[in-house]
Amino acid sequence: MLDLLNRRFLFVGGKGGVGKTTIAAALASMGAEQGKSCLIVSTDPAHSLGDIFSRPIGSREMPLAANLVGLEIDPETETNRFIDAVKRNMRRLVRPELYREIDRQMELARDAPGAAEAALLERVAELMAEGLDRYDLVVFDTAPTGHTLRLLSLPEVMAAWSDGMLAHHERSRHFASLLAKLGARKPNGDELASIDHEPERRSGDSASQIRALLLARRRKFHRARRLLLDDTLSAFLLVLIPERLPILESRKALRMLRRFDIPVAAMVINRLLPRDVEGEFFNRRREQEAEYLREIEHTFAAIRRYRIPLLERDIHDFASVCRISRLLADELRRSSGLP
């Protein structure tokens, strides 16, 4: 079985607050410590990567430690970049009097539902493609489950969309070439006159530009999907804590991931109560925890599971990340049967 850290892309997901950012940071640090060049990327619009490394990170690649670079994708920045490019293209094509109208319409598009998500997908796909060349390991610290599942299902959905658009476009091209073979005369009767009035060369140009754009889109989506589904390259790690709601949510998440064929490599059971704390209260908590752990062992028997204890302090700097990273490394070694 392939070692987790030999994968090129690790996605760390789970319910809100269970320790996704912590575990993602620990994995990336572990990779960096082994001499791999690592990038950790936060896809959660409410970033906390910077908090955990106790320094601002932002949407540019920021060195965090030896071999370790961090990045927080800002959907707003990405959306703006995209919309501004579209705006520039439009301005090239319309009269200057219409610039204000274009700006108004584009402002609406900027805030349209799904725009931020699409921009995020775009950036993730880009980072995966680039990451393959530039890094040994890219760890994605993702947003709580629902958001992330949608994000990961998008490549499939959008690949199908671009296939469909291309198919329509191809059919139209096919008809156009048939028409060309039949000769350029006007068809009889003509409500169809508009077709012939189309400025022939220019519409030909824009048709090939449309095709080029769609093909580029399709390539991107299919590539992201291929990388994501390849379980020698990508793995999804589900983090949970031994409590009722995270267990329920993990179950749902697994079903969804399976539906999209996304391989789940392991689960990290985080924040286990320490054994050596005495007292009535803690005994009762541990009893409850034991029940939930049994449930987890039973429900997720087919998936590898790693356990991380609750530490006495929050994970708030690189040193504490490294502590979690060492604990996780022990777990990885233990479960792979190495000394």
Partner 1 sequence: MTHKKRQHASPAGGFRRAVQQLETAAEEYYRAPYRGAIARAKRDEDDLFMLFVFAEMLGIPNPAAYFTLELQPLLLERFHDWHRRMGMEHSPLDHFRCC
Q: Interface residues with ligand ATP (CB under 6 A)?
A: 14, 16-22, 44, 48, 144, 270-271, 308, 310-311, 314-315
How far, in Å, are 119, 145, 153, 242, 269 from residue 251 at the CA level?
28, 11, 17, 13, 14
Q: How far apart are CA 121 and CA 154, in angstroms?
A: 7
Q: What residue 225 binds from ligand ATP, partner 1, Mg ion, none (CB within 5 to 8 A, per partner kind)? A: none
Q: Which residue has the tokens 């008809």?
A: 175
The C-alpha torsion from 170 through 172 and 175 to 177, rounded to 10°, is: -70
Residues of the shown chain interacting with partner 1 in the complex, contacts defined by CB under 8 A: 82-83, 85-86, 89-90, 92-94, 98, 101-102, 104-106, 109, 112, 114-115, 118-119, 157-158, 161-162, 164-165, 168-169, 171-172, 175-176, 178-179, 182-183, 185, 187-189, 192, 194-195, 197-199, 202-203, 206, 209-210, 213-214, 217
DSSP strands (E only) in the chain: 9-14, 38-42, 62-65, 68-72, 137-141, 234-240, 264-272, 304-309
Minimum separation from the CB atom of position 141 to Mg ion (A): 6
Q: Which is nearer to partner 1, 167 or 290 (CB)?
A: 167
Q: What residue 83 binds from partner 1, Mg ion, ligand ATP, none (CB within 5 to 8 A, per partner kind)? A: partner 1
- For Mg ion, the binding residue among 5, 10, 12, 21 (CB under 5 A) is 21
Q: How far apart are CA 37 and CA 59, in angstroms?
A: 19
Length of the chain (residues): 339
Minimum separation from the CB atom of position 106 to ligand ATP (A): 31
Q: Which is nearer to ligand ATP, 87 or 271 (CB)?
A: 271
- Contact (CB, 8 A) for 260 and 150: no
Q: What residue 203 binds from Mg ion, partner 1, ligand ATP, none (CB within 5 to 8 A, per partner kind)? A: partner 1
